[in-house]
Amino acid sequence: GAVVSQHPSRVICKSGTSVKIECRSLDFQATTMFWYRQFPKQSLMLMATSNEGSKATYEQGVEKDKFLINHASLTLSTLTVTSAHPEDSSFYICSASLPGQGWNTEAFFGQGTRLTVV
């Protein structure tokens, strides 16, 4: 199956600094990638849809200036948490879909990034 690699798997940063998380599709080209946030013992909350070569589409309530998404190539999307605060601590997961799947959209997930802001 398709492989999505997410890096780093774990990061601790100081409050006020920015953190970049990378999501790469290793063996396929992903025109669309998705970024999710997961709180402990909860489901995945879609933050934004990242489209190669265009601006990301953010879900309602997600601050686009705080969570910057860049999808510069068909194999890489990045999420930058700017001016991080302790409330941004969470598990962030990316996924990528194979293009042109119509209703049969199957997503492949990265390993997730545990962000802790101290």
Amino acid at 18: S
CB-based contact 23:57 (threshold 8 Å): no
The tokens 């042109």 sit on which residue?
100
- Two tokens, residue 34: 């998705």
User: Are 17 and 116 contacting, i.e. CB atoms less than 8 angstroms apart?
Assistant: no
Q: Tell me which stretch binds another protein (CB under 8 A): 11-19, 64-72, 78-86, 90-98.
A: 90-98
Among positions 21, 24, 32, 84, the unique one binding another protein when judged by CB under 8 A: 32
74 binds another protein (CB under 8 A): no
In this chain, which of 19, 21, 34, 88 binds another protein, going by CB under 8 A? 34
Which residues form the interface with another protein (CB under 8 A)?
1, 4, 6, 32, 34, 41-44, 46, 49, 57, 93, 95, 97, 99-112, 114
